[in-house]
Structure 1
Amino acid sequence: MTSRVLRSIGAGVFGRGEVEPHRAFLRAKKRSGAQLRLVLSDQRFGIVMPHSFLFVSWGISGNMTPLLTAGRQLRCNGHRVRVMADPAMQSEIGGEFDFVTWQRAPTGSDADPTDASDRQEWLRQAIFRPAAAYAADVREEIERRPTDAVVCLDLLFGVAVAVEAAGLPLFLLSPHISIRPLPGLPPAISGLPKPETEDQRAEVEALLISQAKRFNEFLPDFNKLRMVLGLPSLRHIYDQFDRADRVLLAISESFDFEADALPPNFRYVGPLLDIPAWSGPWHAPWPERQDRPRALIACSTGAQGQKDLMQRIFDGVDMVDIEALATAGPSLRITDLRTPKNVLLVQSAPHDAVMREVSVVITQGGHGTVCRALVNDLPLLILPCGRDQVGNAARVKAKGAGLVLPSTASPVEVAAAINELISEPRYKFSARRLGRAIRADIIKHRFVHEVEAVMADRHASR
């Protein structure tokens, strides 16, 4: 199926619209026009051919950090990587990778709507209505330049069907809790802990049925797109995950709740946490020696209408004897917020450097910020606004590494939670224990191993 046909169906189907083991390698001579390398990986020697990968992202800046981290790891192992993303992300990528952008698919807030209060409408606007446009753009890019495999974010269903139709290896990257429900676990957006009692299991089962029904409302039109591409129909939207060679969960297994089982193509590969390019320079605003505790207030990179929440957090911090640095991120303007004397508000700062100076992290609960805090042995106060934040908050709370408040919490409630996190050492102890396990996952570079294993199997089966 050509890109021209995909363009013609776009409106009709969905509407309008520290240790780096993979650096250790010996290069061999070129054979049969391809450069072969002997790679030391997971204590085994294997022959790996360099491949050309297309990495595909969408929407907010927060999605780019794990994707680019993964790209750097593959490039470090001799592979070629180019990135397809929102045009606003070109400055973050810079000249590091070849960059292409969308021609038909939505960009900016059209790609990632700010208002997610109606989850069904958000799914329609962000994922399923533009699926044909994403498919056409990716198929055209695959035809334009040689491509051996595609790595894309897990919610890009339109990209997934285009790659499947092209017969290329597909890797779905999930830099968050699994969107597809895993056996024995609640939906990612429920905020529930792992069920232990019969009543809890019944509650989770009801939520899973409800979520499946919502996703399957889009199945008829999605199957029309698959049919046009020459692909068989699915019985369930979730079946699209099964069509990928790998679904790579870029979180630590030690952070997640333990599932009863994993689908055969699912793998935990650990967090992908390079420092984002938009992060500004860091100069500590407080004296080198000071007895007052310090906090980092990290606003989400995505636009989620969090201005009022951040103001209430600031007002709560004003009631506590601490110093705080707050990062507004790319979605808030500093001038729109009122800061007390003990809060320094900046647009951005490298969180890893700041976290070495603080005692606690206050955040909406995106996976990147949560994981960075735990890697730095810091307890968290999480006030989730939606998406995967509620699921991350549930895991932090269950593992004793922090506290959770609703996004409607008052300044008094915020102040009380901060005081508890600072005064009770059990939170620090739990964060340190979890952080140790996460760090062990990060240095293993499982992402590269999983991708290269699939590529080797594909090559051997030809």
Structure 2
Amino acid sequence: MDMEPTLAPTGRLRIVVAGWEGGGNVPPILAAIEALRARGHDVTLVADDSIAGDARAAGAHFVGWKRAPNRPDRSAASAPVRDGEWPDPFAVMAAWSERIFLGPCEAYARDLIDVMTVRPADVLVASDLLFGSVLAGEVAQIPTAVLAPNVSLSPLPGHPPFGPGFLPAANAADHERDRAVAGAVEALWNGFLPHLNAARTSLGLTPLARVLDQMHAADLQLLATSAAFDFPVAGLPEDVRYIGPLLREPSWAAGSGVGFEAAAGPRVLVSFSTTEQGQGAVLARLVDALGALPVEAVVTLGDMLEASDLPARPNVRVVASASHEAILPRATLAITHGGHGTTLRALRHGVPLLVLPMGRDQNENAARVEYHGAGLRLDPASDAGTIAAAICRLIDQPAFAQNARRIADALHAEVPARERFVAEIEGLAARRRARPTCAA
């Protein structure tokens, strides 16, 4: 018999959130926690110790991973995978799958089950890449919502396969391309099916035929992006919801006081990954390109590089961190690797983008920027001359800024993402409470 979780007497939900230190996925998790706490719900975050301080500041009870991998800090030395050390994106994805996403899925599941035994939960908010977090919800029979801090990992109807950054298919050759790549991506995931099925068997569940079927065990898939940014969808699956981008500045970036100094002229913000992706070389070429142009630029590095690692140019200021919310209202252009948070924050301010994707979800975000005419994408190996030409095109041709502002208008017209997220979690709990159960 399915045991129904019950609300606390006050009507407050008890919510367990699964998280991990993946760089750009952390601010949406913290934004989700702040939204739930603002509604008075009790929240426990189970995540890497590197997130503990921010989680507690957001109002969550924090529990670090015990069996599962646990990063003590955000340094490059503690990263389980350094993307630049692998020969191609498939090898990078396989490494992440082995070390975080799927290899330790039983450890993640058991850690969460232990927490929910001590701190009973009404709802579990799982991670779209921690397959063990969804497995824990299935074992514990807890209403489970998967939070994806970006576009859908599983392609939506009419979308190309996730990963290469293809535009939607326009002809028969494109459809054949999509089928071939989708098969290769499926094979990569299913290479880890023995890990997943061993965990399921150990936890008393039947094996699956596909790795991605594990995500269907969740009640909801919540995409923290916007339909206005995504490709058009040929019918959204019933359990998938767009909630809008959960944007939140990291504590170490907010309030830095760094901004543009010149009163006029094009102003450019440059921001690449806060995690290790081998971005030093492309940032050096970007500084060279910007140094030769009549622009003012601010480059934010995060913890992975020092300003001394890059060439010095009088019109380019290189800093460890800065508030993008303070800089973007005056920016003419943003240049980025294509992380979802940076991309959507720029678009929310109507700022066009030059995207040089380096892997992960970045090719997908770059493709959507290109599709909507809100910017350009370049190979990160492009030389300084090619980069400079793209920057000039984006500044000189007003259509890019007009299309970025069109997306900004759509984003501002949406119900705020935090409100939509809380409404989905509360609705999930209410539906599960109202569901008929078998008599004892």
- The answer to whether the 8 A contact 2:45-2:63 is kept is yes
* Corresponding position of 1:171: 145
Q: What SS class does the counterpart of residue 222 from structure 1 fall into?
A: helix
Shift of 1:143: 1.5
* Corresponding position of 1:67: 29
Shift of 1:347: 0.9
Q: What SS class does the counterpart of residue 348 from structure 1 fall into?
A: coil
* Corresponding position of 1:127: 101
- The answer to whether the 8 A contact 2:270-2:334 is kept is yes
Q: Which residues in structure 2 correspond to 1:48-447 (within 5 Å)?
A: 49-96=11-58, 97-108=60-71, 112-115=80-83, 117=88, 118=91, 119-287=93-261, 290-441=263-414, 443=416, 445-447=419-421
Q: Which moved more, 1:439-448 or 1:388-397?
A: 439-448
Shift of 1:79: 0.9
Question: Which whole-Å deviations, capped at 9, do the CAs of 1:13-42 have from their partners, x for residues lacking one?
Answer: xxxxxxxxxxxxxxxxxxx9712xxxxxxx
Shift of 1:320: 0.9
Shift of 1:294: 0.6
Q: Which moved more, 1:193-202 or 1:445-454?
A: 445-454
Q: Which runs of 5+ in 2 are unaligned?
A: 1-6, 72-76
Shift of 1:309: 1.1
For residues 313 and 161 of structure 2, what CA distance do their matches in structure 1 show?
A: 38
- The answer to whether the 8 A contact 1:279-1:348 is kept is yes
For residues 286 and 443 of structure 1, what CA distance do their matches in structure 2 show?
A: 28
Q: What SS class does the counterpart of residue 202 from structure 1 fall into?
A: helix
Amino acid at match of 1:421: L
- The answer to whether the 8 A contact 1:102-1:137 is kept is yes
Shift of 1:321: 0.6
Normalising to structure 1: TM-score of the pair?
Answer: 0.86
* Corresponding position of 2:9: 34
For residues 95 and 419 of structure 1, what CA distance do their matches in structure 2 show?
A: 42
Normalising to structure 2: TM-score of the pair?
Answer: 0.91
For residues 23 and 184 of structure 2, what CA distance do their matches in structure 1 show?
A: 30
For residues 259 and 244 of structure 2, what CA distance do their matches in structure 1 show?
A: 33
- The answer to whether the 8 A contact 1:162-1:229 is kept is no
For residues 385 and 162 of structure 1, what CA distance do their matches in structure 2 show?
A: 32
For residues 101 and 403 of structure 1, what CA distance do their matches in structure 2 show?
A: 40
Q: What SS class does the counterpart of residue 53 from structure 1 fall into?
A: strand
Percent identical among aligned pairs is 37
Once superposed, what is the RMSD of the aligned Cα atoms?
1.8
Question: Which whole-Å deviations, capped at 9, do the CAs of 1:72-93 have from their partners, x for residues lacking one?
Answer: 1122222111212111122333
Amino acid at match of 2:272: C
Question: 1:331 and 1:442, CA in 2 relative to 1: closer, same or farther beyond 3 A?
Answer: farther
Residue 455 (structure 1) aligned with residue 429 (structure 2): yes
For residues 408 and 8 of structure 2, what CA distance do their matches in structure 1 show?
A: 45
Shift of 1:434: 0.9
- The answer to whether the 8 A contact 2:225-2:245 is kept is yes
For residues 277 and 242 of structure 1, what CA distance do their matches in structure 2 show?
A: 34
- The answer to whether the 8 A contact 1:294-1:357 is kept is yes
Question: Which whole-Å deviations, capped at 9, do the CAs of 1:382-403 have from their partners, x for residues lacking one?
Answer: 0000011001000101110001
Shift of 1:429: 0.2
Q: What SS class does the counterpart of residue 330 from structure 2 fall into?
A: coil
For residues 229 and 181 of structure 2, what CA distance do their matches in structure 1 show?
A: 22
Runs of 4+, deviation exceeding 6 Å: none
- The answer to whether the 8 A contact 1:59-1:112 is kept is no
For residues 79 and 193 of structure 2, what CA distance do their matches in structure 1 show?
A: 20
Question: 1:33 and 1:251, CA in 2 relative to 1: closer, same or farther beyond 3 A?
Answer: closer
Q: What SS class does the counterpart of residue 247 from structure 1 fall into?
A: strand
Q: Which moved more, 1:190-199 or 1:97-106?
A: 97-106
Amino acid at match of 1:187: P
Q: What SS class does the counterpart of residue 325 from structure 1 fall into?
A: strand
- The answer to whether the 8 A contact 1:269-1:441 is kept is no
Q: Which runs of 5+ in 1 are unaligned?
A: 1-31, 36-48
Question: 1:366 and 1:33, CA in 2 relative to 1: closer, same or farther beyond 3 A?
Answer: closer
Amino acid at match of 1:148: D
For residues 404 and 175 of structure 2, what CA distance do their matches in structure 1 show?
A: 28
Equivalent pairs, count: 417
